[in-house]
């Protein structure tokens, strides 16, 4: 990986979207409701092109047994399993409503359980959920079936159950191995526990194990994070997701329990990122893009080499660009040229389903300009290459005229060595991959018109 100067990292330390979609979720409107979503599902059922592509499914499990102070997810803190049992009954209603509109037995090539803590569910709860999904959809052989795992909620026996149920990918939330940092964010999990679980996962034959890390947490220092990086290199997961902590206590109440004085200063955060890039490079990881790294043998690294990388609400994926069904409270979906989001509270979610309605509370029907810009942004984010002629043929536009203002901004980035700009198109350089979110932001019409970016995390 190309060495990146702290000066350049600091220059691009600005807020920006992660582009798991375009337009981004903050642009969804309440005028888009369940009727619009049902229409999109019915159009998919009738359209031969959409039916030929497999579905992706995301299931949100909002429950956690304890509160992590850094968390900005939609979650419910409880130790009562009966709340999860009730939730699963409502998930069944939501799934039934979906299959009524789009048909039973739709092929699924990607399934992801997120949260919250999906492993909050009991063994029976996990069995029931997977049985429900398998009876309503057809899980394709060779698909990606992943689940987020809190190491404190599983042991080798539970991992064996996950494998038996059909999951072939695990994502462990680690964040930091340092005991003082763990104490400051209220998430105690000894490194030995994580090492034992990863070893068990490998013995059970899981195809890929991901580790989530966060830099910029309270009480983190350059020295302590270097120790965590060394432990991760020793652990050698197939994938690593490295996120910058965004301290927004006004928006996320749990973060108010973090003492601001304990947070590392900006220069220290930049140093941690620089150290991480160097450590993962030395350990032989491929930089996939943004905050993701993978071993050269992992499917994600192979997909990047072969130009098959895609992006959806779960992040980078090897699966083809396809419709996404979002199930559960706050879940986001994409069907055709629409985005939709479920109710964010359990009461509202349950109320919609009690009325026999899908729990959609907001969304967006994309305009032609949205679709053109989404194609440009995803080409940069996934392939690192935006070819003018391909865009012109696909969308019947004069690229240089349509994006004249954007090309002027790209020229400035070309002068900084982040992109190569020529008559054929724009290509992200090795250095530019570290700032690909910033490059993609050039094509975001909403963001260019609205400079209030505080709603987003920082791009590095």
CA distances from 141 to 49, 145, 439 (A): 21, 10, 36
d(C-alpha 140, C-alpha 222), whole Å: 44
Burial of 75 (0-12, 13-18, 19+ CB in 10 A): buried
Query: What pLDDT does 201 receive?
Result: 98
Average pLDDT, integer, range 221-248: 94
CA–CA separation, 162 and 129 (whole Å): 12
Given a cut of 90, whether residue 20 has pLDDT beyond it is no
Which tokens go with 376? Answer: 């440009």
Write phi, then psi, for 135 (nearest 5 degrees): -80, -20
Structure token pair of residue 306: 């072969």
Q: Give the residue extent of every domain in the chain.
A: 1-23+368-460, 24-324
Question: If residue 222 lies in a helix (H) or strand (E), which one and from where to where?
Answer: helix 222-235
If you classify domain 1-23+368-460 with CATH, what class do you get?
Answer: mainly alpha
pLDDT at 320: 74
Residue identified by tokens 């069995």 is 127
- Going by the annotation, the residues of the binding site for [4Fe-4S] cluster are 64, 68, 71
Q: Is 90 exceeded by the pLDDT of residue 193?
A: yes
Query: Taking residues 226-231, what's their average pLDDT?
Result: 97
pLDDT, position 322: 86
What pLDDT, in 10s, does the model give residues 273-292?
Answer: 889 989 999 999 998 887 89
Question: pTM for the complete prediction?
Answer: 0.91
C-beta separation of 380 from 436 below 8 A: yes
Residue 18 has pLDDT above 70, yes or no: yes
Predicted confidence at residue 3, as pLDDT, reads 63
Note the pLDDT tens digit of each residue in 123-138.
999 999 999 999 999 9
Query: Does 408 score more than 90 pLDDT?
Result: yes
**Both tokens assigned to 85:** 């049992």
Binding site, annotated residues for S-adenosyl-L-methionine: 58, 70-72, 115-117, 148, 175, 187, 212, 246, 332
CATH 3.40.1350.10 fits 24-324, yes or no: no
What the block records as the tokens of 241 is 């997701």
Burial class (CB within 10 angstroms; exposed 0-12, middle 13-18, buried 19+) of 453: middle
3-class secondary-structure state, position 404: helix
- pLDDT of 49 reads 55
Per cent of the chain over pLDDT 70 is 95
CA 352 to chain CA mean position, Å: 26
Left if phi > 0, otherwise alpha if psi is -120 to 50, otherwise beta: which for 152? alpha
Q: How do residues 342-396 score in pLDDT, each as one tens digit?
A: 999 999 999 999 999 999 999 999 999 999 999 999 999 988 999 999 999 999 9
φ, ψ for residue 64 (rounded to 5)?
A: -135, 145
* pLDDT at residue 146 in the model: 96
Q: Which residue is associated with the tokens 């993978």?
A: 294
Going by the annotation, the residues of the binding site are 58, 64, 68, 70-72, 115-117, 148, 175, 187, 212, 246, 332
The CA distance from 14 to 27, in Å, is 20
In the block, tokens 């539970």 appear at: 158
Strands 106-115 and 55-61: parallel
List Cβ neighbours of 200 (8 Å cut-off, separation of 6 or more).
156, 159, 160
């Amino acid at each position: 990986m190309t060495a990146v100067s702290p000066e350049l990292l600091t220059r691009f330390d600005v807020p920006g979207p992660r582009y798991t979609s375009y337009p981004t979720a903050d642009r969804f409107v309440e005028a888009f409701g369940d009727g619009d979503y049902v229409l999109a599902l019915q159009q998919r059922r009738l359209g031969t092109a959409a039916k030929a592509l497999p579905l992706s499914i995301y299931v949100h499990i909002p429950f956690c047994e304890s509160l992590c102070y850094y968390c900005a997810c939609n979650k419910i803190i409880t130790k009562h399993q009966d709340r999860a049992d009730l939730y699963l009954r409502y998930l069944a209603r939501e799934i039934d409503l979906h299959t009524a509109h789009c048909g039973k037995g739709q092929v699924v090539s990607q399934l992801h359980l997120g949260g919250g803590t999906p492993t909050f569910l009991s063994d029976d709860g996990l069995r029931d959920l997977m049985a429900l999904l398998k009876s309503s959809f057809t899980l394709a052989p060779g698909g990606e079936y992943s689940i987020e795992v809190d190491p404190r909620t599983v042991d080798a026996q539970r991992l064996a159950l996950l494998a038996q149920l059909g999951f072939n990918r695990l994502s462990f939330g680690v964040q930091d191995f340092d005991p003082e940092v763990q104490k400051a964010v209220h998430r105690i999990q000894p490194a030995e526990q994580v090492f034992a679980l990863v070893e068990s996962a490998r013995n059970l034959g899981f195809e890929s194990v991901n580790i989530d890390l966060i830099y910029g947490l309270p009480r983190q220092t350059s020295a302590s994070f270097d120790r965590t990086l060394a432990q991760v290199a020793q652990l050698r997961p197939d994938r690593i997701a490295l996120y910058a902590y965004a301290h927004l206590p006004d928006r996320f109440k749990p973060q108010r329990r973090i003492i601001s004085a304990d947070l590392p200063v900006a220069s220290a955060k930049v140093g941690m990122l620089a150290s991480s890039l160097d450590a993962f490079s030395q350990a032989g990881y491929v930089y996939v893009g943004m905050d993701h790294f993978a071993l050269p043998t992992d499917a994600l690294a192979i997909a990047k080499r072969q130009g098959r990388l895609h992006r959806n609400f779960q992040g980078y994926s090897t699966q083809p660009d396809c419709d996404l069904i979002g199930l559960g409270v706050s879940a986001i979906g994409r069907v055709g040229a629409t985005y939709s989001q479920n109710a964010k509270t359990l009461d509202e979610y349950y109320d919609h389903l009690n009325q026999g309605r899908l729990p959609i509370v907001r969304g967006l029907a994309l305009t032609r300009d949205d679709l053109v810009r989404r194609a440009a942004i995803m080409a940069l984010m996934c392939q690192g290459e935006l070819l003018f002629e391909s865009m012109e043929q696909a969308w019947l536009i004069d690229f240089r005229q349509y994006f004249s203002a954007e090309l002027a901004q790209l020229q400035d980035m070309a002068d900084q060595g982040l992109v190569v700009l020529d008559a054929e198109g724009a290509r992200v350089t090795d250095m530019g991959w570290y700032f690909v979110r910033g490059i993609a932001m050039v094509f975001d019409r909403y963001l260019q018109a609205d400079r209030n970016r505080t709603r987003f995390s920082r791009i590095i």
